[in-house]
Amino acid sequence: MQMPEYSKIQTAILKTISFFDVLEWPLTISEIQKNLWQEKVTFDEVKMTVIGLSDVISSSQNFYFLHGRNELVQKRKQGYIYSWSKLKSAVFLIQFLRFIPGLRLVAICNSVAIGNIKSTSDIDLLIVTAAKRLWLTRFFVTMAVHLLGMRRHGLNISNRFCLSFYLSEEELNLENILLPRDPYFAYWLATLFVIYDIGDIHKKLLSENSWLNNFLPNMVPIMPSSRFRINVSSVAKWYDSFFYDSWVEGLESRARSLQFEIMKRKEVILPSPGASVVITDKMLKFHEEDRRQFFYSEWQRRLVNLGLHEN
């Protein structure tokens, strides 16, 4: 059977909707345009082009998805309800974390950031720390979240916070952990939901990762409403005034040694196959299962069914 020939915009729309189908997330016209894969177009161009794809794309309640995936609309609505409570939990937690010296940015990432979650999902955080204070800041954050009974560990997962990704503000370029074919990581970065930010770290993060524009040229960063934004603590500013004193350097070294020993005992430094672990003084990334290749493969399978492929 002869496969249809699609225009560049049609191809980009199908690639975008297909990838979000892997995430089980239908999109509005505006979301298709903002998340359009490797094609810079306007809202009106997307709106007009989608009409000509009715043979492979369905719509319901202003959401667009691949044929036969109508159930995703209800799933998305349910996900919003779950994400609302988890966002409120994040705001509650970060109200405490903002007093920790060295904290520069806290963002929700992965499924909760876009609302695609279950009631039992955990909440993933990206945390950016002051330069040369990654280990000390992580120590304080981990202790605080644990004492509040909100840290994910062991079998305690549901509605807990996963503290698996730390960056130093001196190492914001993430291109070195980008896989050769990695749409998931591009969308991960583009959909960060920033709740706490000192010194426009989010803007610097996007600037340092200009490669993202090659994949998502229409991207618009998520701007949470004021109810989900935490103001900078004056106490934290005061802490920062002596956070680079020489004696604090010794605490950073001790915090590093202590956490490194704990990691060795838990065999974090020798992860299982399929894990994604980075341990440096500028980045800490602990993911027991890196599913990026899985997402890419599932995306490719959908594209092949549509007569497309990703170069």
On whether both 105 and 192 belong to a single domain, the answer is: yes
On whether both 47 and 108 belong to a single domain, the answer is: no
On whether both 137 and 255 belong to a single domain, the answer is: yes
pLDDT of residue 132: 93
- 305 found inside a domain: no
| C-beta of residue 124 within 8 angstroms of C-beta of residue 162 | yes
Among 181, 64, 167, CA closest to 107: 167
* Phi-psi region at 246: left, alpha or beta (left = phi > 0; alpha = psi -120 to 50): alpha
pLDDT of residue 112: 65
- 74 found inside a domain: no
pLDDT of residue 29: 98
- Sort 241 into a burial class: Cβ within 10 Å, 0-12 / 13-18 / 19+: exposed
pLDDT of residue 238: 72
Order across the sheet with 276-279: list the strands: 193-197, 103-109, 123-129, 161-168, 283-287, 276-279
| The model's pTM | 0.91
pLDDT of residue 243: 72
On whether both 94 and 240 belong to a single domain, the answer is: yes
Measuring CA to CA, how many Å separate 31 from each of 83, 226, 284, 297?
18, 22, 31, 23
Residue 152's domain is classified under what CATH number? 3.30.460.10
Give me the domain span that covers residue 52: 8-69
**Residues in the chain where the model's pLDDT stays below 50:** 273-275
On whether both 165 and 208 belong to a single domain, the answer is: yes
Report the C-alpha gap between 11 and 46 in whole angstroms.
Answer: 11
DSSP SS3 for 202: helix
| C-beta of residue 165 within 8 angstroms of C-beta of residue 152 | no
Based on the structure, what is the number of domains in the chain?
2
Residue 22's domain is classified under what CATH number? 1.10.10
The shares of helix, strand and coil residues in the chain, as percent rounded to the nearest 5, are 45, 15, 40
CB atoms under 10 Å from CB of 152, counted, come to: 19
- 191 found inside a domain: yes
Among 145, 135, 156, CA closest to 262: 135
